[in-house]
Amino acid sequence: MGSVCSDPAAGLCLAITAVLGGMAFGKLKKSPGQMWNRTICLAGLWGITCLLGSSLCWGLVLFSLSCFFLYKYISSQELLPVQQKTILITGTDSGIGHGLAKYLDELGFTVFATVLNENGSGAEELRRTCSSRLSVIQMDVTNSEQIREARRKVEEKVQDRGLWALINNAGILGFPAEGELVPITHFRQCMDVNFFGPVAVTKMFLPLLRKSKGRLVNISSMAAKIRMKKVASYASSKAALTMFSEVLRQELLKWGVKVSVIHPGGFKTNIAGTKETWDKLERSLLDDLSPDVLEDYGQEYILAQRNIIRIFDRAGEADYTPLLLDVHHAIAAKSPFALYTPGKSSFLWHCVISLVPTVVFDYLYKEVDFKTKPRSLSMPVWKKAT
């Protein structure tokens, strides 16, 4: 420490580092969503590398430069004003979409909230609690006529301004069970709602997004990147949506449209549907099974899969704030991120899955299972032989 104080050059570097670091820190504290954790982690790692990789004086010079570029980078993340900006959100009957519609309306955006049931309780609550800027529109993302009618209503209001942002949020989970058990109709339904629906809506509204040089935000899932048992149909559809988003991000750059994909962690939503929905999916699953598969798995094991929905629900976060902040950043920042990972440990899991070899992940994950086992695997060996 004494050598730093006695060396004028080192002292000057240290003073510049403190000033630039303080400016960057001040900017960072005002930044929304995941920018805080992400930037602090990256800046810390880079700073340590600078200080350890060379002499102290040159380390401080490099670290000062990193603080300067960090300040410039954070400045590019400042939020644009909300005035005259119109947002379309799909799937706002409940859950994340419902929370997003209320939140963006409170911020001052003009919101078109599409719902599966315009006479349902979710639609009525939005009309009752939100400002006159919010409009509720009937739109099933699998219904091309309703999508076209929604475009007509939006275009009528925005006219030459175009649509600033489209948020594809509508989605379903399906019945969680092994891929072998899930009927092909369930796979198709997940793909229709979670993938083909957002594709159809995006294609319909892209001319309005290109007109405003706006934003496309697709709500995907951690399951799109992280292998999760029991959700093959859901995860496959979300993986397709993620790749669609990544390709469009490159294709739309020339038009000035920015594309982001959100991979939320576990949040409490109504994506699993009602008990009646579970009953219907469960019956169709049992009716679709061949006798040999039903014999091997056993009906008791299959019926126990319903408990997985309850496990997902108990583990989910009730507070949507991290997700809301990230979506706000994606639609309002000058330079939005390509990927957002709101929720506890979501960003960490993405890093782990990218760095840990598949064989190691599979070995660790094989121990993460549910209590029941298929009938054939739980039988004693002597019984199997007979």
| Calpha distance 198→220 (Å, rounded) | 10
Catalytic: which of 71, 103, 234, 320?
234
* 382: confidence class by pLDDT, cuts 50, 70, 90: very low
Please indicate whether residue 297 is annotated as part of the active site: no
| Calpha distance 182→261 (Å, rounded) | 27
- Return the ∠ at Cα 228 (arms to 262 and 287), rounded to 5°: 110
Say if pTM beats, i.e. exceeds, 0.85: no
Asked if pLDDT for residue 4 goes beyond 50, the answer is no
**Lowest mean pLDDT, pick from 110-124, 238-252, 314-328:** 314-328
Per-residue pLDDT of 165-191, as tens digits, reads: 999 999 998 888 889 999 999 999 999
Asked if pLDDT for residue 214 goes beyond 70, the answer is yes
| pLDDT at site 59 | 58
Please give the DSSP secondary-structure letter assigned to residue 32: -
* 130: confidence class by pLDDT, cuts 50, 70, 90: very high
The CATH architecture that domain 86-365 belongs to is 3-Layer(aba) Sandwich (3.40)
| pLDDT at site 66 | 63
For the chain, give the number of residues.
Answer: 386
Per-residue pLDDT of 18-32, as tens digits, reads: 555 555 555 555 555
Domain boundaries, the chain: 2-75, 86-365
* 363: confidence class by pLDDT, cuts 50, 70, 90: confident
Whether the CB-CB separation of 229 and 369 falls below 8 Å is answered with yes
Residues 6+ apart with CB under 8 A from 174: 182, 186, 189, 190, 231, 233, 234, 281
Please report how the helices 197-212 and 144-158 are oriented relative to each other, as an axis angle in degrees rounded to 10. 20
| Calpha distance 13→18 (Å, rounded) | 9
Say which residue, 57 or 192, is predicted with more confidence: 192
| pLDDT at site 128 | 97
Instruction: Determine the average pLDDT of the residues in 198-222.
Output: 97
* 1: confidence class by pLDDT, cuts 50, 70, 90: very low
